[in-house]
Structure 1
Amino acid sequence: MLFMESYMCYCSVRLGVIIVAVLVIIRSMAQSIVLFTMGVKFFDPLIDLFEHDAEYKDRKWVRKYINWMENSPESFSALFQVLSCSHMAAAVMSIWGALKLQKWFLLPLAFFEFVYFINITILHIVLMIMLKKQINLGFLIILTLVGCFYIFFVGYNAFTCVAMFQIIRLVKSSRYRELYGDDPFHPLAMKPSLTNDSQKPLPVLHMHDMHDTDIDEQKRLSKLGLWPRRHPPVVSVLPVQTQFPPPQLKWWQQQALDTGEDKVQDPSVYRNWQPRELLNGVGGEVQRKNDLNRRYAESQMHRWY
C-alpha cells in the first residue's frame, strides 16, 4: 500500500521528493554556515538553559554533551559539518533518483530525515518541559504548536521519500510493464480484452421509412400484400385488478335490503285493493314494511359501500 499518492494534496510525489531535497539542502547549508562562522558559541543559549534547570543539569547524557562541546569544540564542529554535508549529499542523490527513477538513491535521504525527525521530537519535548517554568502559558502554547507543526512537516517529508521508493518499485514491476509498457513517463493505454463484451460496439437496428421505396417497388410489394407497411399494433396490457369479495352486511342492513317478495301473501288477498289502500288495509303490514325498507336502502346504499 502506498503511503501517499500526492505531495501536499497538489504536487506529484516525484516533485515532492525534489522539493524536500531542496529544503534539506537549504537547511543543512544554513546550519553549516552558522556553525562555521560562530562555532560552538551558537549552542550557548541551549547550554545555559540546561545548566540552570534543576531537573536536567545533572543528567548523564546532558553532562556528556556539554563537556564535549566545552573541552573539544573542534571535533564537535567537524562532526556536525560532516553530518550536514552528508545530509546535503543524500538530498542531491534523492533528486537524481527521483528524476531517473532510481529507488535506491532515495533511501539515504529517507534515513537522514527519520533520524532528524526523532532528534527534533526529543529536543522539542525536553525544551517544552524546561520552558514551562520560565515563560507564560500563552507563549508556551504558541511554541508547542509551532514545534509540533514543524515535527509533523519533517515526518511528512520522510514518508514522502518512502512513498516515492514504493512508486518506483511499482512502475518497475513486471506486471506494470505488461499493462502500461516500459516507459512509466509515457504509459500505454490498456489493450481491450477480446472477451470483454462491454467494449464491443452496440448493434444498430436500421428502421426503413415507408416513403424510402420508389413507386415500382411499392406496386410490387402491394401485389404481395406487403405494402403499405403496417406498424405492429401496440397492445396495452393492464394489470389484473384484484377482485375483492363483497362486504358483509349486518342483519339490519340485510333486513333493509330485503324487499320481502318471497314473503308476499296470496295475490288473491290484494285483488280488490289499491296499493295505497293496502298500506292501511289487508296485507298492509308486509307492503308497508317492504316500501319503507326499499326507501331506506336506496338512501343508505352509498354509505355502506
Structure 2
Amino acid sequence: MLFMESYMCYCSVRLGVIVVAILTILRCLSMSIVLFVLGVACFDPLIDILEHDADYKDRKMVRRLINWIENSPENFLISLQIIFLRTLAAAILSIWGSLKLQKWLVLPLAFFELAYFLQFTIQHIFLMIMLKKQINLGLLIILTLIGSFYILFVGYNAFTCVAMFQVISLVRSPQYRELYGDDPFHPLATRSHPHRDSSVQQLRVLKMDNDSDTDIDEQKRLSKLGLWPRRYPQVVSVIPVQAPYPPLKWWQLQAMDTGQDKLQLDSSAVYRNWQQGELLNGVGGEVQRKNALNRRYAESQMHRWY
C-alpha cells in the first residue's frame, strides 16, 4: 500500500520529491555558507546553553561534543561539510531519479531525510528541556509549536521520498505493465486510438469476474474511469397505481351523500328551535326522509359497487 498518492493534497508524488529535493539543496547550501563564513562561532550559543545547564553539562556525550568543537574545529567543520555535500548529491540524484523513474536514485534522499528528521526531533526535545529554565512560558510554547510543525513537515517530506520509491516499484511491476503498457508516461488507458479523432480516447476496460473481487488496484483504476462500482440499469415501473377499489359513479356518489353536514349548517338558520326528531313530521321532514332513504340505499348496494 502506498504511503501517499499526492503531495500536499495537490501535487503528484513525483513533483513532491522534486520540491523536497530543492528545499534540501537550499537548506544544505545555506548551512554550508554559514559554516564557511562564521565557522564554529555559530555554535557558541549552543555551547553556552549546555555549559550552564546543571543536568546536561556533565554528561559524557555533551563533554565530547564540546571538546570536539573547541579542540578540533577544522575536523568538526569538515565533517559537517561532507554531510552537507552528500545530502546535496542525494537531492540531485533524487531529482534525476524522479524524472527518469529510477527508484534506487530516490532512496538516498529518503535516508538522509529520515536521519535529519530523527536528529532534529532529538535536538528539539533536549533544547526545549534546557530552555524551560531560562525563558518565559509564552516564548517556550511558541518555540515548541514552531519546532513541532517543522518536525511534522520534515517527516512528511521523508515519507514522500519513500512513497516515490513505492510508486516507481509499482509502475515497473509486471502487473502494471500488463494493464497499462511499458511506458508509464503514456499508459494504455489514456492512449488515443490511431483511426479516430485525437480528442477521443480509447479506454481499456478489464472484465472482472464478480463484484466481490478484492483487487484494490484494479478497483482504484476503474473508479477513476467511472466504472467502479458497477452501475446496473435502473428498472422503472410504468404500471399505474391501482386503487384498492374502483371509483364510484356520479349517481353512486349522490346516493352516498346524506346531506348531514348541510343539515347541521342550516339547522340553526332554517329550523331554529326544531328538534331533529320533530323534523321528520315537521317543516323539514322531506329533507330528513330523503337523507334517510339515501343512506339505507347506499348501505344495501355497497356490496354490489365493490
| TM interval, short-chain normalised | 0.5 to 0.7
Distance apart, 1:18 and its partner CA: 0.4
CA, structure 1 residues 71+174, in 2 after alignment: closer, same or farther (shift >3 Å)?
same
User: 2:141 is matched by which residue type in structure 1?
Assistant: I
Residue aligning to 2:170: 170
Residue aligning to 1:157: 157
Residue aligning to 1:252: none
CA, structure 1 residues 172+240, in 2 after alignment: closer, same or farther (shift >3 Å)?
same
Q: Secondary structure at the match of 1:54?
A: coil
Distance apart, 1:178 and its partner CA: 1.0
Distance apart, 1:238 and its partner CA: 3.4
Partners of 1:49 and 1:169 in 2: how far apart?
A: 46
Residue aligning to 2:25: 25
1:222-272: CA deviation from partner (whole Å, max 9, x where unpaired): xxxxxxxxxxxx99783666xxxxxxxxxxxxxxxxxxxxxxxxxxxxxxx
User: 2:204 is matched by which residue type in structure 1?
Assistant: K
Residue aligning to 2:181: 181
Residue aligning to 2:135: 135
| Percent pairwise identity | 66
Partners of 1:165 and 1:185 in 2: how far apart?
A: 16
Partners of 1:195 and 1:161 in 2: how far apart?
A: 33
User: 1:59 is matched by which residue type in structure 2?
Assistant: R
CA, structure 1 residues 131+178, in 2 after alignment: closer, same or farther (shift >3 Å)?
same
1:134-176: CA deviation from partner (whole Å, max 9, x where unpaired): 1111111100000001111100000000000000000001111
Q: Secondary structure at the match of 1:106?
A: helix
1:49-93: CA deviation from partner (whole Å, max 9, x where unpaired): 000011110111101100111111111100000000000000000
Residue aligning to 2:79: 79
Residue aligning to 1:191: 204
User: 1:238 is matched by which residue type in structure 2?
Assistant: Q
Distance apart, 1:186 and its partner CA: 1.0
Alignment RMSD: 2.8
CA, structure 1 residues 240+129, in 2 after alignment: closer, same or farther (shift >3 Å)?
same
Work out which of the residue numbers 242, 251, 264 in structure 2 matches 1:238.
Answer: 242
**Pair member with larger Rg:** 1
Residue aligning to 1:69: 69
1:275-301: CA deviation from partner (whole Å, max 9, x where unpaired): xxxxxxxxxxxxxxxxxxxx9xx69x9
CA, structure 1 residues 192+116, in 2 after alignment: closer, same or farther (shift >3 Å)?
closer
User: 1:191 is matched by which residue type in structure 2?
Assistant: R
Q: Which runs of 4+ in 1 moved over 6 A?
A: 234-237
Residue aligning to 1:92: 92
TM-score, normalising length: structure 2: 0.65
TM-score, normalising length: structure 1: 0.65
Distance apart, 1:48 and its partner CA: 0.3
Partners of 1:47 and 1:183 in 2: how far apart?
A: 55
Residue aligning to 1:6: 6
Distance apart, 1:36 and its partner CA: 1.2
User: 2:242 is matched by which residue type in structure 1?
Assistant: L
Partners of 1:187 and 1:145 in 2: how far apart?
A: 44
Residue aligning to 2:114: 114
Partners of 1:122 and 1:237 in 2: how far apart?
A: 74
Partners of 2:25 and 2:6 in 1: how far apart?
A: 22
Distance apart, 1:195 and its partner CA: 9.0
Residue aligning to 2:144: 144
Partners of 2:20 and 2:207 in 1: how far apart?
A: 45
Residue aligning to 2:261: none
User: 2:16 is matched by which residue type in structure 1?
Assistant: G
CA, structure 1 residues 70+175, in 2 after alignment: closer, same or farther (shift >3 Å)?
same
Q: Secondary structure at the match of 1:62?
A: helix
Mapping of residues 227-266 of structure 1, within 5 Å: 238=242
Partners of 1:181 and 1:42 in 2: how far apart?
A: 54
Partners of 1:184 and 1:82 in 2: how far apart?
A: 36
Structure 2: segments with no counterpart, 5+ residues = 190-202, 210-226, 228-237, 246-288, 300-306
Which deviates further from its counterpart, 123-132 or 182-191? Answer: 182-191
CA, structure 1 residues 5+236, in 2 after alignment: closer, same or farther (shift >3 Å)?
closer
